Amino acid sequence: MFEFKFPDVGEGIAEGEIRSWLVEVGQTVAEHQALIEMETDKAVVELPSPVSGVVAELRGEVGEVIAVGTVLALIEESRPATVTESGQPFAAGVVGRLEEATESEPDPGRDAEAAPVLPRDRKLAAELGVDLQQLRGSGSKERITEEEIRGAAGEKEKSQEAERIPLRGVRRTMAKAMAASASTAVHVTIMEQADALALRRLREREHGLAAERGLRLTWLPFIVKALTLVLERFPLLNSTLDLDKSEIILHRQVHIGFAVDTPDGLLVPVVRNTRQLSILELAAALQELALRARERKIGPGELKGGTFTVSNYGALGGIWGTPIINPPEAAILGIGRIEEVPVVRDGQVVARPVVPLSLTFDHRIIDGATAHRFLNALIEYIENPDLILLET
């Protein structure tokens, strides 16, 4: 009987949440066939079977958090599994191969009479002083649940007044990243607005060509392209800080991350080498990455490596904001809702479309004067978009 364990999928991931089972008990599976869909703090991944055979048992329920190395399924093999020199089976993960962990369940000799319990729940019981041998377990396979442990400790997990939601996956990753950013970078935000009349006319002029290619041409591709040109002129805003070596790393290439609101929390896909992409190519990349991010079909590698981030909260109706830097980057640009407002032009009050811009920068790396010059240069491109075309 082959034990299929949650493999080490890389990226420093230690656990994952069961999103869905893709097979049933009694089902015949082929080698490399996907068995389960797991959600980690990076992405949703499908784990393939390293052997062919018949599924004898499935362990774990949808929504349950499983540690790396835990047995997920038992498979009656139709052929022997690949083994190492030590005789241990291998499991094929989504990233290469790995040797199986030597411990997946509590030691039966240590707790012969106790019901099964996940490692994280065993740790919780120790912290709360709960004797696991006094609990029977009512979860999957009579597993002792977190609620039972807290109940035994005299804690009430739920009440009529409130509901507790586990902080997992994307939301937990976002919480850690934002806390790390707020506690390390010295955040300063400056705000300006740009007249977007000429940019609106350019966008309307190219709208038909984009539609022919199945693209919805928004403001964002133009602003990303303008950002790329300005970042090349102000490399400090396209940098990261290495405190250990007391060095500022100036990145030669521009890789723009953009915040995407998903049902599971905020994700930041990265469009790489934006200097080499046309406006329409940027539109296609932004559209495709945003769609896969919302469907949680984006790979972990597509969520890292950015050198600057854009938060387009204007798409949700926001005007001004103080965006938090996406570590380890040096700055982030917030884009507000573009709307017509009264402005004075040549002594006359006229209605013009205006784009609100909020630039947050790390004051350890960037001084205020440099940040203002950067924002002024960006405004120049937005108000004179022909300059974007001339330099690309």
The three-point CA angle 182-257-239 to 5° equals 65
End-to-end CA distance of the chain: 60
Place of tokens 């932004």: 286
Max CA pair span of the chain: 87
Place of tokens 């319990």: 117
The reply to whether omega before 328 is within 30° of 0 (cis) is yes
Q: What is residue 140's three-state secondary structure?
A: helix
The three-point CA angle 154-157-163 to 5° equals 155
Least Cα distance to 53 among 83, 74, 71, 38 occurs for 74
Place of tokens 């002129």: 233
| Amino acid symbol at 250 | L
Alpha helices in the chain (DSSP H): 119-128, 146-152, 169-184, 197-212, 220-233, 279-294, 368-383, 386-390
Least Cα distance to 231 among 112, 330, 363 occurs for 330
The three-point CA angle 342-230-256 to 5° equals 100
Gap between the Cα atoms of 249 and 240, Å rounded = 5
Place of tokens 């093999």: 77
* 251 labelled catalytic: no
Gap between the Cα atoms of 59 and 104, Å rounded = 12
Per the residue annotation, which of 187, 207, 251, 363 is the catalytic one?
A: 363
Parallel, antiparallel or unpaired: strands 256-258 and 270-271: antiparallel
Place of tokens 């869909």: 37
So which residues are the catalytic ones? 363
